[in-house]
Amino acid sequence: MSTIDGDRVMLMTRMASFEENEGKEAIRICNYFRSDYVTLNVVRSIVSATVSYGLVLGLYIYYNIDQLLQDIYTMDLIETGRRLITAYVIFAGAFGIIAYVVYSFRYDKAKKQLKDYNYALRELLNIQEVDIDG
């Protein structure tokens, strides 16, 4: 009967702790390619930004509906439309850039965590091989 190896227990404990906690999210993230993960989340963020923009615009129009109905015949509709589209592009673009930075950072962090985990796994295999050979 073999005895308990302290180093191996420590290593396995750290690995099990990682698997129980942050490892779940890291493994989920690293199931994607970096470009897929980041692109998917940037697209989702732009959809969120689009819905939010529509919501704020809707509230603004309803709030000023009387004034807008009065001015609708004198207003330059093309110029107004251009301004609204420009504002949307700036808002959604800024939001997309923030999402790109956040999700790229998250992917890199998860990748690094998994790299450390794999390193620990190799170390564990080495210890086991030494035990078997010994």
Per CB under 8 A, the list member of 17, 31, 70, 80 interacting with another protein is 17
Binding segment (CB under 8 A) for another protein, from list 27-35, 42-50, 79-87, 110-118: 42-50
Which residues from 81-100 bind another protein, rule CB under 8 A?
Answer: 95, 99
Number of residues that bind another protein (CB under 8 A): 28
Give min distance, CB of 59 to another protein, in A: 6
Candidates 13, 31, 118, 126: give the one binding another protein (CB under 8 A).
Answer: 13
99: how many CB neighbours lie within 10 A of its CB? 19
Say if residue 106 is exposed, middle or buried (CB neighbours under 10 Å; 0-12, 13-18, 19+). middle
3-state SS, the chain, equals: CCCCCHHHHHHHHHHHHHHHCHHHHHHHHHCCCHHHHHHHHHHHHHHHHHHHHHHHHHHHHHHCHHHHHHHCCCCCHHHHHHHHHHHHHHHHHHHHHHHHHHHHHHHHHHHHHHHHHHHHHHHHHHHHHHHHHC
Q: Does 8 bind another protein (CB under 8 A)?
A: yes
Q: Is 66 in the site for another protein (CB under 8 A)?
A: yes
User: Binding another protein by CB under 8 A: which of 40, 43, 57, 59?
Assistant: 59
State the nearest-atom distance from the C-beta of 111 to another protein, in Å: 19
Residues at the interface with another protein (CB under 8 A): 1-2, 4, 8-9, 12-13, 15-17, 20, 44-45, 48-49, 51-52, 55-56, 59, 62-63, 65-66, 95, 99, 102, 128
